[in-house]
Amino acid sequence: MAASFRPTASVSTHLKSISAATKSPAIVGAVDLSTLEKRKLPVLLFDVMDTIVRDPFYYDIPAFFKMSMRELLEEKHPTAWVEFEKGLIDEIELGKKFFKDGRAFDLEGLKDCMRRGYSYVDGIEELLQALKQNNYELHAFTNYPIWYKMIEEKLELSKYLSWTFCSCLIGKRKPAPDSYAVVVHLLNVEPASCIFIDDRETNVKAAVNAGMVGIHFKNADSLKQDLSSLGVVLEVLNN
């Protein structure tokens, strides 16, 4: 029998139905309904950058370009990175239009800088281990380009979760309502059976509007408390 899940009032849990306009069409790869009786709920959906993995963009990339963050934000192309995250352009095209003026730069050097900067957020890997050991279903639901593979190569997040809902794979970004609709459709669960965790409050509010349970990530300790308050089991099982 599927585990029941009832969110508590300690975390944002206002539930709204998804409008017909945001419902996605049938998508190949949705969860097999015949497996749902054995499924453990809730399903946990994690943002990745600055929730699970340190985001080098904010800490390392301005120094790579010898700019301040303000200068970088002013000079980079306004939509190129978003297009890259949605899979609309590849990294070659990103290199051509990263800056508004089209200046050339060391793309491979940028990638190396990103690789060096990837690391687990303090305390989060232990939490993921506990969730995995307690047989929860974990998915990445994150805005990131094909470079997610560089994160995987270094940190092996797939030991704990699936990269199912990376924006470059589904072609949609948070906080667009249709991105949450696609997730629910592919998972074949009620929105209220999903806990969504993100460091950006805008994305959490959009998840709540889609009917999910939302947790605004601050650090691993506060996340443990929030998950425990929702009845999620975090005790490490003995072998």
Q: What is the pLDDT of residues 189-205, one digit of tens each?
A: 999 999 999 999 999 99
Its sign, for the CA torsion 94, 98, 104, 105, is: negative
Domain shared by 112 and 134, yes or no: no
Co-location of 60 and 49 in the same domain: no
Preceding amide of 191 cis, omega within 30:
no
Q: Is 113 a domain residue?
A: yes
Residue 239: pLDDT band (50, 70, 90) is: low
Quick one: 147 and 219 in the same domain?
yes
Least confident of 25-29, 71-75, 77-81, 194-198: 25-29
State the pTM of this model.
0.84
Q: Is 14 a domain residue?
A: no
Please report, as a single letter, which amino acid is at residue 115.
R
88 and 138 inside one domain: no
Residue 234 lies in a domain: no
Q: Which of 117, 138, 163 is the last residue of a domain?
A: 117
Domain-located, residue 109: yes
**Residues 36 and 140 reside in one and the same domain:** yes
Express as a percent the part of the chain with pLDDT over 90: 82
Report if residue 150 sits inside a domain.
yes
**DSSP β-bridge partners for residue 142:** 166
Domain count for the chain? 2
Q: Are 154 and 216 found together in one domain?
A: yes
Which residues span the domain enclosing 106?
Answer: 56-117
pLDDT higher than threshold 70 for residue 65: yes
3-state helix, strand, coil in the chain (%, to 5): 45, 10, 45
In a domain, 133, yes or no: yes
Q: Are residues 204 and 140 in the same domain?
A: yes
Q: Are residues 108 and 212 in the same domain?
A: no
User: Half-sphere exposure (CA, 13 Å, Cβ side) for 81?
Assistant: 11
pLDDT at 70 over 80: yes
Contact 172, 179 (CB under 8 A): yes
Domain presence at residue 103:
yes
